Chain A
Amino acid sequence: MLARIKKFLGMEAKPAEEKEVPMEEKKVASNEEVEKVAEEKPKPRIGYIHLSGCTGDVMSLTENYDILAPLLTEMVDIVYGQTLVDRWDIPEMDIALVEGSVCLQDEHSLHELKEVREKAGLVVAYGSCAATGCFTRYSRGGQQAQPAHESFVPIADVVKVDLAIPGCPPSPEIIAKTVVAVLNGDMDYLQPMMDLVGYTEACGCDLQLKVVNQALCIACGTCAMACQTRALDMTNGRPELNEDRCVKCGICYTQCPRSWWPMERIKKDTGL
């Protein structure tokens, strides 16, 4: 996987020189940074594929106002995407950002996803619907136009995925950081996103099963802070899940310091 990504980005063995952004400096990717990256690297061709999701993910992408213009015009070539590009057939591309889960009764979506897998170097499950199924897991079908549409699964259930960026939606910051990391070939930063590809059955109860029951929880409260639907409360220092509110985005577990711990990266980021 690592080799594949590196090959795609044409950056084998080239640990692109780091331009560290100190923590105090607020913007994760400043304009100059973006421009600098843009000058140095060839433009990757990016496609945006929209399956079953609420469009929140692309909204989050566009919230990177400060870097979006240079991103779209100087850093990448958007080659495919609803409303972004006037094109019906799927072209060859370096990176496909896939938003939304895939509906197993929707032949068109299945076909599109498979074709994207063939035409794209890297397939990114972008947002929790694509990565974990998220709230679409709960769809019961019965929609007037398509009454039979009821089984929605993360795209990794159907095709091979290279990177997962969960979030409902992913924060604008993680998107900016990921784009900069991809363009720099910063594999260390991307490693957790490669590891998260396997995390498709997410639930707030992961905290109970994989952290609390494993004697790892420390009552920090990061999970409850990160939950985007307020499905988590802290009771006697332990996360308590309100299952009715959980959309299975997986963010609580992803952000917990006891699920995975990127100390070396943090040291780089903080300069400590």
Chain B
Amino acid sequence: MVLGTYKEALSARSTDKQIQKISQDGGIVSALLSFALDEKIIDGAVVSGPGKDMWKPEPMVAMSSDEILAAAGTKYTFSPNVFMLKQAARQYGLEKIGTVAIPCQTMGIRKMQSYPFGVRFVADKIALLLGIYCMENFPFASLQTFISEKMGVSPELVEKMDIGKGKFWIYTADDELSIPLKETHGYEQSGCKVCLDYVAELADLSTGSVGSPDGWSTVLTRTDAGENVFKLAVDAGLIETKPMADVKPGLGLLEKLAKDKKTKNQKTIDERIAMGLPVPYKASTEKEDPLANY
């Protein structure tokens, strides 16, 4: 299955006007984490908070909805969220931790849960793992290069960044600029080139923009924990949904992108193996399902 195992696929958005304004897409991550905090499903959440430099996030433990909202929006560079999980458990004493993770971070967390060799009393405290789709990630200096050098805008003036319709976009107070993704491709971190997961296949619930109209998100509920929190938030009127079949461009596009990523990166894996370089995945010839993430 190219999108991993999921229970339901829906198009959804937060009904909260403030969240709609500040969030990246449908505000699903911020809405769900805030709701889970209010309902005591989690005691706090590890999110990508604002850092010292504009657009360079720092992982942080958010203990209130305000802190969760302060972290809304996508920063297209590294935020080692998994790093903070132990602090959340130890320094903050959280028993039920919520977090948001790109697919590779989801892998780090799940591996730690299945094989917690040296990690004491953290694995069982992850109560809600929200995954966000991810095609690639950029070192901070790459972002600076596109924005200041290629697009001629100072990063401080940028209010939002987005990737969509084959372009990298920035929005300032009075402008909207884009460059084709062709021009950003050479700037991705190299580790992304062997990544086989687009849609955070191992999260409790995954979300991202692809498949849904602007301002909405595509949601895949995966585990009981993910499904429960989502249903409760919908019942509480905090999230509105539409069937995937009723929205454009729909699930087909998500499946296509996920498949393209896997096919392209599996090729890189095969090339690396042929060169004798290490890689934690199998060659396509050793796989039953060429699209599986192993």
Shortest beta-carbon distance, B228 to chain A, in Å?
Answer: 9
Docked pose: A210 CA to B141 CA in angstroms: 23
Q: Which positions 248-272 of chain A face chain B at CB distance < 8 Å?
A: 249, 251, 254-267, 269-272
Q: A215 and B82: CB pair below 8 A?
A: no
Q: Which positions 157-216 of chain A face chain B at CB distance < 8 Å?
A: 165-174, 177, 192, 210, 214-216
Q: A220 and B107: CB pair below 8 A?
A: yes
- Ranked nearest first, the 4 interchain pairs of A and B with the lowest CB-CB distance are A221-B80, A237-B78, A221-B83, A222-B108
Q: How large is the interface on A (under 10, 10 to 19, 20 to 34, 35 or more residues)?
A: 35 or more
A27 proximal to B (CB < 8 A): yes
B218 proximal to A (CB < 8 A): no
The stretch from B113-121, B148-156, B160-168 touching chain A is B113-121
B interface with A by C-beta (< 8 Å): 4-5, 59, 77-86, 104-105, 107-124, 137, 139-141, 189-195, 201-202, 222-225, 277-281, 292-294
Docked pose: A228 CA to B90 CA in angstroms: 12
Could you list 11 A-B pairs, sorted by A, with CB under 8 Å? Answer: A23-B223, A171-B116, A171-B117, A216-B190, A216-B191, A218-B191, A222-B112, A257-B111, A261-B107, A261-B281, A272-B222
Q: A171 and B118: CB pair below 8 A?
A: yes
Q: A218 and B4: CB pair below 8 A?
A: no
Docked pose: A221 CA to B85 CA in angstroms: 10
Q: A23 and B108: CB pair below 8 A?
A: no
Docked pose: A26 CA to B122 CA in angstroms: 11
> In the complex, which residues of chain A have a beta carbon less than 8 angstroms from the beta carbon of B80?
219-221, 224, 234, 237
Shortest beta-carbon distance, A97 to chain B, in Å?
Answer: 15
- Residue in A24, A214, A218, A265 with the greatest tally of chain B CB atoms within 10 Å: A218
Q: A219-B137, A237-B78 are in contact. Are A192 and B192 (CB under 8 A)?
A: no
Docked pose: A188 CA to B47 CA in angstroms: 34
The listed residue (A24, A177, A222, A257) touching B225 by CB distance below 8 A is: A24
Query: Quick one: CB contact mask for A36-51 with B, threshold 8 Å, 1 for yes?
Result: 0000000000000000
A104 proximal to B (CB < 8 A): no
How many CB-defined contacts (below 8 Å) exist between A and B? Answer: 180
Docked pose: A171 CA to B118 CA in angstroms: 5
Docked pose: A123 CA to B191 CA in angstroms: 37
Q: A218-B104, A219-B78, A222-B112 are in contact. Are A168 and B118 (CB under 8 A)?
A: yes
Q: A225 and B85: CB pair below 8 A?
A: yes
Q: A24 and B109: CB pair below 8 A?
A: no
> In the complex, which residues of chain A have a beta carbon less than 8 angstroms from the beta carbon of B193?
215
Shortest beta-carbon distance, B221 to chain A, in Å?
Answer: 11
Docked pose: A171 CA to B121 CA in angstroms: 8
> In the complex, which residues of chain B have a beta carbon less than 8 angstroms from the beta carbon of A215?
190-191, 193, 277
Q: A171-B118, A218-B104 are in contact. Are A224 and B83 (CB under 8 A)?
A: yes
Residue of B nearest to A168 (CB): B118
The listed residue (A167, A258, A269) touching B117 by CB distance below 8 A is: A167
A120 proximal to B (CB < 8 A): no
Residue of B nearest to A227 (CB): B118
Q: A237-B78, A270-B223 are in contact. Are A167 and B110 (CB under 8 A)?
A: no
Q: A256-B108, A264-B294, A270-B223 are in contact. Are A218 and B189 (CB under 8 A)?
A: yes
A236 proximal to B (CB < 8 A): yes
Q: A236 and B78: CB pair below 8 A?
A: yes
A226 proximal to B (CB < 8 A): yes
> In the complex, which residues of chain B have a beta carbon less than 8 angstroms from the beta carbon of A228?
118
Q: B109 and A222: CB pair below 8 A?
A: yes
A113 proximal to B (CB < 8 A): no
Docked pose: A190 CA to B97 CA in angstroms: 28
Docked pose: A53 CA to B104 CA in angstroms: 35
